[in-house]
Structure 1
């Protein structure tokens, strides 16, 4: 595996975000399958020094040693800027980012290899957040977003549109993590930016998806009327893929159930399931909907049954689909709790 490919590793990137030099060396060796002696020629230090750093007996404090490690391990450019940006600790979008031009306005061609690489890394971050939360990767994703948006003013046409979608995906990720950490205002600010970039780039699936996320936020905040209104806006976005349309219909079903419109909710849940089952393969869905497998679609249908107080249907649906969910610990816990509660009520 190339040095660049190693830096897709989430644990390695998280160590870099913490600037934990001992962990950086350990995680790099783990990802690369190297011994401490194998690391010697890369970082220009003898094995006893590497061992002392990894064990905490020696601290990396000088710029010279930090540079030697950074260059030797070929840390990607979007990560090397992190320590130089104190505003990455802020939750809300900074003024500088808000003022950055968010559309292509120059001629010429931009090398999109950096953007392709960052897109691949973001896919790993999504899965990592599903497994255990994303706060540790916050500064990494913020720095990636900066790298993407700095490319936008120098592009036009389809290349600019691709960058706008990638920027929107990053802003959506930041919004979701901010919401999970009770930073509601920041979450809304990021999701608004994601929507603007999605619309500017002509990406209807992403524009619908961020409406769906806003609906989720409204419902979680106790406002089902606004949640249903926003979910319907997500559904009515033109030219949606089946997966994006399914996600919007499911959210509308949950919001309708919260308003006691159960017949409407059931119809929407059936629509969501039928749409999701049209695209059983991950490659046929937008990248951020990688998780919408047939098993997940069945679980969402069962969750809508729960919301409609169809207790036995919820129990049966969760019991049938949960073994096929895969490695999503938080979601397993969520659906198990739903099934246990529905069993008591049935």
Structure 2
């Protein structure tokens, strides 16, 4: 089933954030029973039970308390829309042909919160709600009309791409690739090179997890050369494509790709990272350089890049599940140096 082969949206079931599912799973993953969590936050267990069973909406205070308890750095609380935005989204779900800008802004804000949850929560915690939100947004897109449809298509493309990324982290590779292909089609439909390049980048990530250097080189090179890609994206993609080429013993081609990345350094530094790939800082691309130099057999250099890149990550990203790959690469570089 593709994202376009879904049943029409039922506006009464458009939950927007699915806070209850996220909170319930996060509490379980953190070892909290509902009673223990209520006691820790000084809340009535019956009230918390009603919220977690979707019988009552969470107050802003409870959402923030749960967020602090779970160490979600504000991301969990940010998935909850206020009454005005929630009502606006429900109306647009009921009549997508009258989509308004406020609805798109609200959906984009929820997506941003989910992305931040990916930095603090285990993927299995976030995936069920992510898949549900993705389907609801893409259903709305099918009926959307008017001047705001293009922006909704951007949000939908990013939702689908994010869902593919989440599945990739849990090694549901075939499903992840299908979603990334759908996200790529949506990005191409609206001419958004940043989103298209990121979808290709995630396909390269899957190839790396599968140990397929040809796929690594192919998909990261395609991402780097996507029209409209951000310079910071292109740097990371060139470096990761170089790692694939180095693994294939095509050292000269790998070094040429490294030079292509280095030529973009000043251009990337002059621009903020794209909002849809906020993590693409110079520190993050040190991690990509670390993977590249590791594949080239420059172990001491790789260890330096990886160590510096990990140390330069913001506090909320240092224990993100995606960082484990780079920590493992650092250990490998140190052992080989």
Q: If the length of structure 2 is used for normalisation, what is the TM-score? A: 0.70
Give yes or no for contact 1:15–1:24 (8 Å, CA) kept in 2: no
What SS class does the counterpart of residue 99 from structure 2 fall into? coil
The higher-RCO structure (CA 8 Å, 6+ apart) is 2
Matches of 2:210 and 2:231 in 1, distance apart? Answer: 28
TM-aligned CA deviation for residue 151 of structure 1: 3.3
Shift in Å at residue 309 of structure 1? 0.7
Q: Choose the corresponding residue for 2:235, options 227, 234, 246.
A: 246
- Size of the aligned set, in residue pairs, is 287
**Structure with bigger gyration radius:** 1
- How far apart are the structure 1 equivalents of 2:170 and 2:277? 22
Q: Deviations over 1:43-64 (max 9, x none)?
A: xxxxxxx34555xxxx659xxx
Counterpart Cα distance in 2 of 1:128 and 1:319: 24
Shift in Å at residue 218 of structure 1?
Answer: 2.4
Residues 307-340 of structure 1: per-residue CA shift (max 9 Å, x gap)? 1111121123234443222232146554443333
Aligned equivalent of 1:200, options 168, 172, 189: 189
Correspondence for 2:70: none
Point out where structure 2 has 5 or more consecutive residues left out of the alignment: 1-14, 64-79, 88-94
Q: Give SS of 1:139's match.
A: helix
TM-score (structure 1 length as normaliser): 0.68
> Within the alignment, does 1:269 sit opposite 2:269 as a pair?
no
Q: How much is the aligned-residue C-alpha RMSD, in angstroms?
A: 4.0
User: Residue 304 of structure 1 is aligned with which of 292, 295, 303?
Assistant: 292
Paired position in structure 2 for 1:341: 332
- Identify unmatched segments of 5+ residues in structure 1: 1-6, 37-49, 81-105
Q: Distance in 2 between the 1:11 and 1:207 partners?
A: 29
> What SS does structure 2 have at the residue aligned with 1:131?
coil
Q: Does 1:112 align with 2:101?
A: yes
Of 264, 270, 273, the match for 1:285:
273
Q: 1:113: how far off?
A: 1.7
Equivalent-residue separation in structure 2 for 1:183 and 1:79 (angstroms) = 32
For 2:156 and 2:286, the matched residues in 1 are separated by 31
- Mapped to 1, the partners of 2:205 and 2:116 lie a distance apart of 20
- Take 1:342 and 1:116, find their aligned partners in 2: how far apart are those partners? 44
